[in-house]
A = this chain, B = another copy of it.
Amino acid sequence: MSSEVTEPGTGPTGAAPTLSEVAKRAGVSSITVSRVVRMPDLVAPETRARVEQAMRDLGYIPNLVAGALASARTNSVGVLVPTIANSIFADTVQGLSDKLEPLGFSVILAQSRYDASREDRMLAALLSRRPEAIIMVGSPATEEGTRLLRNARIPIVETWDLPANPIDAVAGFDNYKAGVAVAKHLVAQGRKQLAFIGGDDPRGTRRWFGFRDEALASGLAEPRRLILDRKDSGSVAAHARLPDVDAVFAANDAHAIGFMFGLRKAGLLRDGPASAQPVAVIGLGDLEMGRLISPTLSTISVHGDAIGRTAATLTLERGGERRIDLGFELVLRDSG
């Protein structure tokens, strides 16, 4: 049982030590070392100790690339998000990776940046790494992307929405209904001139449709829709472009807070309850920040991390319900 430590990580060639180098040092065959790494119970205690010592001596780190090729299991999951620099998707990635990492799965992360052709390229790039599942925010923007995923023969989880024809599994909520719920609430509050601010990505657009349809169904004029680019800054000035509006649904809390800031400057924000607000504001996402500002932000609360954890679960289990509606909640505070 040698405990002499050679220059670690350095085989004869200066390359990382391999299974068979460990095997030679421990005086066993490669497969025994492999078993010590993966199924230690199958190896006699003394042999195991000898192998473990050899691994330590050499600073052996298993090569999962080779292991994956031999076993046809990569223990990895591909994750595609529009952007990670959006706390709401970051929560989802955190949720799923907290669930997957302890099980030995790695997360391969890719961003589409809301660009359909980049999305297709990233999807192909992910698939070429042979992940055991793919979790994405939303659904593929193109036919090509859909085709790629349908042919991949691995679990696919679409999140943050409830597509009518999912590729495989779904963990999300109904964005249309969220828009409806907000409009309903604003109408009940007696608001007359509604507006929607946010991006024109698929989910934002679905919220818009729900919002508009419900407003129209309630006999209001068609709400205005202001499409903002991804940078929040536009939201601050948004009010100037929406005169006479008395209620706004912002596609996310950051836009909502920016808009409120614009209202504050215009003297149209009260520290009182919703009923006192000249202009009602409802956000989506339920950022911590919304609870901290004044007036506190009313919002559609969505559990991004739960979406991630649920998606991870759908990834691991092939049977059972493949369409999970995690719902949303209209959280009413002081802004509207």
Chain A residues with CB under 8 Å of chain B are 8-10, 16, 59, 61-66, 68-69, 74, 76, 79, 83-87, 90-91, 93-94, 97-98, 101, 104, 106-111, 113, 122, 124-130, 147-148, 151-153, 232-233, 236, 254, 257-258, 260-261, 264, 288-289, 292-294, 305
Cα separation A66 to B147 with both chains bound (whole Å): 23
Known contacts A61-B124, A84-B84; A289/B94 CB under 8 A: no
Q: Which residue of B lies closest to A232 (CB)?
A: B288
Known contacts A125-B104, A289-B257; A147/B8 CB under 8 A: yes
Known contacts A61-B127, A101-B111; A289/B84 CB under 8 A: no
| Residue among A61, A62, A292 facing the most chain B CB atoms (10 A cut-off) | A292
CB distance from A250 to the nearest CB of B (A): 13
A-B residue pairs in contact (CB < 8 Å), sample of 13: A59-B151, A62-B128, A65-B68, A65-B129, A86-B90, A98-B111, A101-B110, A101-B111, A101-B125, A107-B108, A108-B109, A236-B292, A254-B288
Complex interface: chain B residues within 8 A of A236 (CB): 292
Q: Which of B76, B233, B305 contacts A85 (CB 8 A)?
A: B305
Known contacts A84-B94, A254-B289, A292-B257; A65/B130 CB under 8 A: yes
Q: Which of B68, B98, B110 contacts A106 (CB 8 A)?
A: B110
Complex interface: chain B residues within 8 A of A85 (CB): 87, 90-91, 93-94, 305
Complex interface: chain B residues within 8 A of A62 (CB): 128
Known contacts A69-B66, A305-B85; A292/B258 CB under 8 A: yes
Complex interface: chain B residues within 8 A of A109 (CB): 79, 93, 97, 107-109
CB distance from A20 to the nearest CB of B (A): 15
CB distance from A271 to the nearest CB of B (A): 9
Cα separation A61 to B124 with both chains bound (whole Å): 7
Complex interface: chain B residues within 8 A of A104 (CB): 125
Query: Is B65 in contact with A69, judged by CB distance below 8 angstroms?
Result: yes
Q: Which residue of B lies closest to A235 (CB)?
A: B292
Cα separation A224 to B98 with both chains bound (whole Å): 34
Not counting A9-B152, A84-B94, A107-B109, a sample of 9 additional A-B residue pairs whose C-beta atoms are within 8 angstroms of each other reads A76-B129, A83-B94, A84-B90, A94-B111, A97-B109, A98-B111, A101-B110, A106-B110, A258-B288
Complex interface: chain B residues within 8 A of A113 (CB): 98
Complex interface: chain B residues within 8 A of A8 (CB): 147, 151
Complex interface: chain B residues within 8 A of A63 (CB): 128, 130
Cα separation A245 to B305 with both chains bound (whole Å): 36
Known contacts A85-B91, A90-B90; A232/B292 CB under 8 A: yes
CB distance from A103 to the nearest CB of B (A): 11
Query: Is A93 in contact with B84, judged by CB distance below 8 angstroms?
Result: yes
Complex interface: chain B residues within 8 A of A292 (CB): 232, 236, 257-258, 260-261
